[in-house]
Amino acid sequence: MKSSSENRFKKLMCGTLALGVLVALSTPALAGNIEGRVTAQGLKSAANIAVYVEAVPGKTFTAPAKAEVMDQKKMTFIPHVMVVQKGATVEFLNSDPVGHNVYWPNVGGNRKLAHNMGTWPQGAKKSFTFNDEGAAPLLCNVHPEMSGYIVVVPTPYFAVTNKEGEFVIKDVPAGHYTVKTWSEEGKPVSQAVDVAAGNTKLNLTVHR
């Protein structure tokens, strides 16, 4: 016969094990940041380079509910380079006291995805949902000096470099990934990275 103290000990251990399993199941997967610098060789600047995680195995991502805003102000697209997740909606705002047109001749080089948004006055905006991956070069046929880019990527894990080439991609689930770049002048770069909790360093070099 087992003693009552042995039975109590076994019950205690079973309860502790069950609690541990529940905690493990309820705890979200570890995530970390990918941070680093892009060195630009032969480019005018290391700024405005898109850096993004190509895919997360076994995961798909719903389109973000909140629209991004691409402004047209002082005859300039602001920001010059905007990165959005596939399926995101972008609102094109005209903040200038003149009419602006927005069109793109292709997305990722595919001319079949060309689109003209038309022309609209100050204070008005039009929206468009980007369902195809690739870079859409923005132009204005009223003001040919204007240009910008919307880069459509497959995951919500992306960043745009600052003028020093620095970037941070936040809250990436722990795992093994391929990180890619896009830039207006440079060739795309791909590099593998292992992400763990905390900050993962990643330095990249983009060539013209």
User: DSSP 3-state assignment of 122?
Assistant: coil
Query: Hey, CA dihedral for 52, 54, 55, 60, is it positive or negative?
Result: positive
How confident is the model over 99-152, as pLDDT tens digits?
A: 999 999 999 999 999 999 999 999 999 999 999 999 999 999 999 999 999 999
pLDDT at residue 30, rounded to an integer:
86
How confident is the model over 26-36, as pLDDT tens digits?
A: 334 689 999 99
CATH topology of domain 66-153: Immunoglobulin-like (2.60.40)
pLDDT at residue 32, rounded to an integer:
94
**What is the rounded average pLDDT of the residues 61-86?**
97
Block residue for tokens 């005209």: 94
Residue 8 has pLDDT above 70, yes or no: no
Mean pLDDT of the chain: 89
Q: Nearest Cα to 152, choosing from 137, 163, 165, 167? A: 137
pLDDT at residue 15, rounded to an integer:
45
Go through the chain and tell me how many residues it has. Answer: 208
Domain edges within the chain: 66-153
pTM of the model: 0.84
Do the Cβ atoms of 119 and 103 come closer than 8 Å?
A: no
Q: DSSP character for 111? A: G
pLDDT at residue 117, rounded to an integer:
96
Q: Quick one: which H or E segment has residue 135?
A: strand 134-139
Q: Where are the alpha helices (DSSP H) in 72-202?
A: none
Task: Tell me the residue type at 130.
Answer: F
Residue 91 has pLDDT above 80, yes or no: yes
Residue 157 burial (10 A CB sphere; 0-12, 13-18, 19+): buried
pLDDT at residue 4, rounded to an integer:
54
